[in-house]
Structure 1
Amino acid sequence: MRRKVEGCQVCDPINNLIDYLENNGFKIIKSKLTDYHFHEVYFKLSGENNIIEIPYIKKIKRHSENEFICECHWSIVELDINK
């Protein structure tokens, strides 16, 4: 599914990561456009599944245990893992 945040199209790498996370029990709890010019967006997802292995998604880098960044627009996906 192609997502939009505040009218801005979300890139394929972030879409693919969010699809994977949603298929593993995560829910989007926050989304916002952080830079319209660069199409940079932010997503926060919450879930109870502590996924250790995220499959390789081209242009997605794991910045920390709970944060992923895309290399194309510097968009961020943050995980709030309920333990």
Structure 2
Amino acid sequence: MKKVKNEKELLKKALQVGQVYAKNRGYQSFGPTDSFDQKVECIYRLLVNDKLLIPLPADQENGVHMKKRLVKWISHQLPAEHPLLN
């Protein structure tokens, strides 16, 4: 897979937007003991369930690929002039 510029920052932004989306959908928010990987998986599965994200093939469903999918998703959600996309 091709390396995305500002990937870490885009992933953080995807989690922020995903958490707001989850909260608006009725999810109570993440607890202080929830790991980063648990948050990634939860938001990924919610977006797939709501058909906002194309699911990964079953053999590629792991943390690394979920993170990349979230980065790609947020890249399409942000306006073209957003600083993380330049």
Q: Which has the larger radius of gyration?
A: 2
Task: Please confirm whether the aligned pair reaches a TM-score higher than 0.5, indicating the same fold.
Answer: no
User: Normalising by the residue count of structure 1, what TM-score does the alignment of the two structures yield?
Assistant: 0.33
What TM-score results when the alignment is normalised by the length of structure 2? 0.32
Normalized per residue, the structure richer in helix is 2
Greater length-normalized contact order (CA 8 Å, ≥ 6 residues apart): 2
